[in-house]
């Protein structure tokens, strides 16, 4: 991209987005920064897009020598990310708010805002790549740094969005980005990464109960696979598939949550071997290729950011529901989490695990 472009960079106050802005500025583009204010943090709380991060983003923009602005998307964040987070737990699922934030906040609202401001592109600090074929179609690919690759969190992006996005860090390793940021003498060069859910300071269970304005947790039973009652619980939002601790039951051997029946408000526990399965069903699908071509492709899938890719067979039940069969059993397949499909470096698409 040798032609000078007007690029707005989504600046979170971290080293990745700050380095992205500095690199694009060095390349001669017209660059400005924009930071989303998404959540009201209590005093002393930190998280993505907290006041501390807004300050760091503004400071980095000043160091780079670019304009910077803050946009308030707190209401939208509550509606599309926080409410989804709460609802999924109350329905016996385990949500992935990072994917929801990317889909709605960054690559819907913020992308539209950037284009309205006259930008040619919105750039972010994600570790992923964007490619373009001879027909002019855009595809999402894995980042160079396989440990940092974030394509899993971006599977909802389509051709329309990808054509207006830039991921400059997709060609770098995280360690190289640190070195580059130090070369630019950025104040955030050594800043630690946030590892937790950005809007939750401590306990997600307490957060759910304090921020749910329209429903109360319902008590229910904890049962074994044979249906025997082992105890009671104060709400299925306290549990997720694979959980071993804080089950509230007495057992001489380790027990794990193997399923959650949200209709009956039941939590089912079993042995670790009961966590393994080779089949799941997924809905709300997004594909980057014609689904007819999937029949002739070697496809791998992953069901968590850090889980390894495994060969799969896909059977379409209808346009928006598939059955996925893994070549080997998977541990703790969890409704509410995303499944993302790959062919080599390319992201073919993905969806949301509905049932196992």
Q: Which two tokens stand for residue 80?
A: 């599309």
Which of these, 52, 41, 34, lies nearest to 105 by C-alpha position?
Answer: 34
C-alpha distances (whole Å) from 26 to each of 117, 182, 248, 310, 332 are 22, 14, 57, 40, 46
Quick count: other Cβ atoms within 10 Å of Cβ 41? 17
Q: Name residue 141's beta-bridge partners.
A: 129, 346
Any catalytic annotation for residue 49?
no
198 is known as an active-site residue: yes
Beta bridge partners of 259: 268
From the list 48, 49, 98, 198, the catalytic residue is 198
Q: Which parts of 91-218 are beta strand (E)?
A: 121-123, 128-132, 138-142, 165-166
Residue whose C-alpha is closest to residue 14's, from 201, 179, 191: 191
Bridge partners (DSSP) listed for residue 313 = 325
Burial class (CB in 10 A: 0-12, 13-18, 19+), 309: middle
Which residues are the active-site residues? 101, 198
């Amino acid at each position: 991209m040798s032609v000078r472009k007007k690029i707005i960079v989504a600046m979170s106050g971290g080293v990745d987005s700050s380095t992205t802005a500095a690199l694009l500025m060095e390349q001669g583009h017209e660059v400005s920064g924009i930071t989303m204010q998404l959540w009201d943090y209590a005093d002393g709380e930190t998280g993505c897009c907290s006041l501390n991060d807004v300050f760091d983003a503004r400071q980095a923009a000043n160091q780079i020598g670019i304009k910077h602005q803050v946009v308030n998307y707190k209401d939208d964040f509550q509606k599309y990310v926080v409410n989804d987070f709460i609802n999924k737990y109350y329905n016996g699922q385990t949500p992935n708010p990072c994917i929801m934030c990317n889909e709605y906040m960054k690559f819907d609202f913020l992308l539209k805002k950037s284009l309205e401001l006259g930008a040619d592109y919105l750039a972010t600090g994600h570790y992923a790549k964007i490619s373009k074929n001879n027909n002019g179609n855009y595809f999402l690919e894995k980042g160079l740094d396989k440990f940092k690759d974030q394509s899993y969190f971006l599977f909802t992006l389509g051709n329309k969005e990808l054509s207006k996005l830039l991921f400059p860090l997709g060609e770098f390793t995280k360690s190289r980005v640190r070195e580059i940021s130090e070369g630019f003498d950025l104040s955030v060069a050594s800043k630690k990464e946030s590892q937790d859910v950005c809007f939750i300071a401590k306990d997600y269970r307490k957060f759910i109960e304090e921020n749910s304005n329209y429903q109360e947790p319902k008590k229910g039973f904890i049962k074994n696979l044979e249906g025997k009652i082992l105890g009671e619980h104060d709400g299925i939002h306290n549990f997720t598939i694979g959980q071993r601790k804080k089950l509230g039951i007495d057992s001489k051997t380790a027990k794990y949550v193997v399923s959650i029946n949200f209709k009956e408000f039941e939590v089912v526990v079993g042995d670790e071997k009961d966590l393994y399965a080779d089949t799941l069903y997924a809905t709300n699908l997004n594909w980057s290729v014609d689904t007819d071509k999937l029949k002739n492709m070697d496809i791998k899938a992953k069901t968590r950011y850090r889980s390894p890719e495994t060969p799969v067979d896909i059977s379409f039940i209808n346009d928006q529901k598939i059955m996925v069969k893994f070549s080997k059993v998977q541990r703790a397949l969890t409704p509410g989490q995303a499944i993302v499909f790959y062919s080599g470096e390319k992201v073919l698409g993905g969806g949301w695990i509905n049932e196992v």
